[in-house]
Amino acid sequence: MKHLSQELLAEVVKRQRNSKSLTQEQVSEKTGINRAMIGRIERKEYIPSIPQLESLATTLDFDIDGLFVDEMKPTVYTAFRGSHLTEQEQDGVNHLFEMMLAVKKQIVLRRALHHE
C-alpha cells in the first residue's frame, strides 16, 4: 500500500514555495493554512489534511501523486535510524554503527594476520 511521504512533501513544498518567491505567510494567505502549519510541513512535523494538500498543490503547482510512495517494512537498522529520534539520539546511533563497523574491520584484520 502507498503512503504519503513527509520527506517528499516537505521538499516539494519548500522548493515550490521558494521557486515562486513566496513566504510562508503568503502561502498561508493563498491556501488558508496557518503559517505555523506551513513551517511544520516543511520541517516534516505535520501531515496536512486532504483539502489542505489539494490547496497546497494548486497554489504551489505540484502533482500530489508523486508524493505517495510504496510502504516499506522497516528493518532493525532503518528502525534505529528512523526520523522519530532526536538529533542527539540520531548522532548516538550513527556513532554506534560506526563503532560496530570499526570492530568488524578489526576482526577481519586479526583473522587475516593469524592465518598467514
- Residue range 74-106, pLDDT digits in tens: 555 555 555 566 778 778 878 888 888 888 888
Number of domains making up the chain: 2
Answer yes or no: do 57 and 85 share one domain: no
Answer yes or no: do 22 and 63 share one domain: yes
Nearest to 4 by CA among 62, 64, 59: 64
The residue range of the domain holding 96 is 76-113
Distance CA 87, CA 71 (A): 24
Q: Does 6 score more than 90 pLDDT?
A: yes
The 10s digit of each residue's pLDDT in 54-64 is 999 999 999 99
Task: Give the residue with greater pLDDT, 71 vs 33.
Answer: 33
Answer yes or no: do 38 and 62 share one domain: yes
